[in-house]
Amino acid sequence: MKIFKFGGASVKDADSVKNVASIIKNEGAKDTLVVVSAMGKMTNAFEEVVDAYYNKKDNLPEKLNYIEDYHKKIMSSLFDKTDAIYEKVDVLFGELGWFLARNTSKRYNYVYDQIICFGELLSTKIVSAYLEKIGTENIWFDARNFIKTDSNYRDAKVDWELTQELITEKVDATKINITQGFIAANDTENTTTLGREGSDYTAGIFAYCLNAASVTIWKDVDGVLNADPRVFEKTTLLEQISYEEAIEMAFYGASVIHPKTLQPLERKEIPLLVRSFVNPKAAGTKVSKGTTLVPYIPCFIVKKNQILVSISALDFSFMVENNISFIFQKLHDYQLKVNLIQNSAISFSVCIDNKFGKFDEFYNELNSQFKIDVQKDVDLYTVRHFNADAISVIEQKGESLLTQINKETSQIVVKPN
């Protein structure tokens, strides 16, 4: 069985849905499980619904109407008004409205997951219905009935034993299957999510449990490039790379592959293909065992909107195990992802991602016990297989605030020009 994953950009409008259907028909006409993300920027739109639900109730109808109009505009170019998909979509919007009206929980992360999942449910219903309309039979199913997790909302951990059992028993590996990325459920059947951009991980989970022949992630680029073309003018396609190299790149933040995706694939030596839905005839990039990045060329990874924090003791004492351990515990408590660490005798610096918006709470708690210097809105550049020219390219991006170099990798925190 093959696993295909299509992200939001691949289903952003009616023509895109038709293109995805063509790819499935030509390359995955049977024995294929297709994972689909929310359409276009709909995850962002649903996040605005969450924000309005908590902070601007008067704006909630406008936010919901935008999402409904967006999906129905796409549907109007794909279906007749009498097609059953309209009723199925209306049912989903009814379920969303019911939750918004009846929910009593004040837990933000829980509410976020119960709302955000509708992006994937809507997109997969539409894609599945369109495939049926053009004669490509398929099975739509709810990923929440198969992928089971703990209750760590917005970043749930997979219960691999139960998930393996459910997928093995219930997925018909001889058919085309359409399901959602990113979403799962806990033991009380509440929706959980696997972390932002977690649809790649969903593909990896199904591949592992089904012993898939391959996973293909369909992107709007030719494959894995040595740099983000939105940031760097010149890029090079990496035709073959090893699991190890891909995991290193993903760890440092390469957006083309989700960090968690590669681990289950590597354990069963399932090759990962990164191909272009714009140019599906191109070979793309293959990630597998035993291949290496040839030739070694600098690979650039950038994380925008980071926070650089330098922490030192108020009495200028050494930063040693006990206070560093305390700081790490607080970073964990406030869900601040650490992307770089550097310490000296009297200071400890971290470059962090404030994904969950809890940095101010972290700062307020530590400010009474430590001297803290903060620089927000900095960029973290990581260069794998760096050379002098590569470092020079980064230094032209702005003022270098912190540099860390090891044998294969250089990381530079930059205040943008």
Q: Do residues 17 and 117 share a domain?
A: yes
From 51-60, 90-99, 317-326, the region with the lowest mean pLDDT: 317-326
User: How high is the pLDDT of residue 416?
Assistant: 93
Q: Tens of pLDDT along 124-160?
A: 999 999 999 999 999 999 999 999 999 999 999 999 9
Q: Where residue 409 sits, what CATH number does that domain have?
A: 3.30.2130.10
Q: Do residues 312 and 408 share a domain?
A: yes
- DSSP character for 199? H
Name which residue leads in pLDDT, 197 or 208: 208
Query: Would 221 be classed as within a structural domain?
Result: no
SS3 6: strand
Query: Would 247 be classed as within a structural domain?
Result: no
Query: What number of CA atoms fall less than 13 Å from residue 119's CA on the CB side?
Result: 31
Q: Tens of pLDDT along 71-81?
A: 999 999 999 99
For residues 416 and 379, is the Cβ–Cβ distance under 8 A? yes
Q: Which helix (H) or strand (E) holds 180?
A: strand 176-180
Instruction: Give Dmax (Cα) for the chain.
Output: 74
What does the block give as tokens for 306? 């980071």
Residues whose CB falls within 8 Å of the CB of residue 239, separated by 6 or more in sequence, listed in order? 223, 283, 285, 286
Query: Would 269 be classed as within a structural domain?
Result: no
Query: How far is 204 from 196, CA to CA, in rounded Å?
Result: 15
- Rounded mean pLDDT, 310-330: 86
* Domain termination residue (choose one: 186, 212, 238): 212
What's the pTM value of the predicted model, to 2 decimals? 0.85
Query: How far is 152 from 147, CA to CA, in rounded Å?
Result: 14
- Rounded mean pLDDT, 58-83: 97
Host domain of residue 348: 299-416
User: How high is the pLDDT of residue 139?
Assistant: 97
In total, how many domains does the chain have?
2
Question: What is the amino acid identity at position 392?
Answer: S
